[in-house]
């Protein structure tokens, strides 16, 4: 298999995929930005996209006619216990931008129904929002005042050969926070 046979997308599995390996696909240069990697790690923690919430129709309208073919799953509502935790978060690391997956990039795929929303912040890929952190703490029953740890939870190695984007394998959990080894220039803030 050559480097050109890997997909040109960013992606990961939703939720716990087994005791040893979680795969994150970083198929293009944009995928190496810090916020995009956090987005994929958030999926591994079990969180779908914010616009997948079962109550999302109260907050956004989906323009189904402008979606790229075959991409509808990324906009379908999840039913059941899936993450309708806390208020709807337009500024979540997990919310798509207003033009995400658009067939016509001049026409929105998502339109907020709520007034006074800063539309420029919807779809941000910089960092977790305060509500994102509350959701993680609620779902994983974390103490309200958690402190950063020097212990490692996940470790990954990014070689020069893989730098342009390929599957990145997350190794077995150790304990604590995320540690990434490799060329720090890949993680643009």
40 belongs to the catalytic site: yes
Domain 49-140, second-level architecture? 3-Layer(aba) Sandwich (3.40)
**What are the structural domain ranges in the chain?**
7-46, 49-140
pTM of the model: 0.72
Per-residue pLDDT of 103-144, as tens digits, reads 999 999 999 999 999 999 999 999 999 999 888 888 888 876
| Cβ atoms < 10 Å from Cβ of 29 | 13
- Tell me the pairing of strands 177-181 and 152-157: parallel
Per the listing, tokens 């906009």 go with 75
Tokens of 163: 């730098």
| Cβ atoms < 10 Å from Cβ of 19 | 7
| Cβ atoms < 10 Å from Cβ of 111 | 11
22 belongs to an annotated ligand binding site:
no
43 belongs to an annotated ligand binding site:
yes
The one catalytic residue in 40, 72, 143, 172 is 40
DSSP state for residue 102 in the 8-state scheme = B
Q: Which pLDDT tens digits describe the chain residue by residue (189 residues)?
A: 334 444 578 888 888 777 767 778 888 888 888 889 999 999 988 889 999 999 999 999 999 999 999 989 889 998 765 567 789 999 999 999 999 999 999 999 999 999 999 999 999 999 999 999 888 888 888 876 555 545 444 444 444 444 333 333 333 333 333 333 333 333 333
By the 10 Å C-beta count (0-12 exposed, 13-18 middle, 19+ buried), 46 is classed as middle
């Amino acid at each position: 298999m050559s480097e050109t046979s890997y997909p040109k997308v960013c992606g990961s599995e939703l939720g716990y995929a087994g005791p040893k390996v979680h795969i994150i696909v970083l198929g293009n240069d944009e995928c190496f930005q810090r916020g995009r990697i956090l987005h994929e790690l958030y999926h591994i923690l079990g969180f779908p996209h914010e616009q997948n919430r079962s109550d999302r129709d109260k907050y956004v309208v989906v323009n189904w006619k402008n979606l790229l073919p075959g991409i509808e799953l990324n906009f379908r509502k999840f039913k059941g216990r899936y993450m309708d935790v806390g208020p709807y978060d337009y500024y979540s690391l997990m919310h798509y931008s207003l033009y995400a997956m658009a067939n016509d990039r001049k026409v929105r795929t998502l339109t907020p129904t709520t007034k006074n929303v800063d539309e420029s912040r919807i779809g941000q890929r910089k960092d977790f929002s305060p509500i994102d952190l509350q959701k993680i703490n609620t779902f994983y029953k974390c103490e309200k005042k958690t402190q950063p740890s020097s212990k490692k939870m996940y470790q990954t190695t990014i070689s020069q050969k893989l730098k342009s984007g390929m599957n990145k394998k997350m190794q077995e959990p150790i304990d604590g926070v995320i540690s990434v080894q490799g060329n720090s220039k890949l993680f643009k803030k």
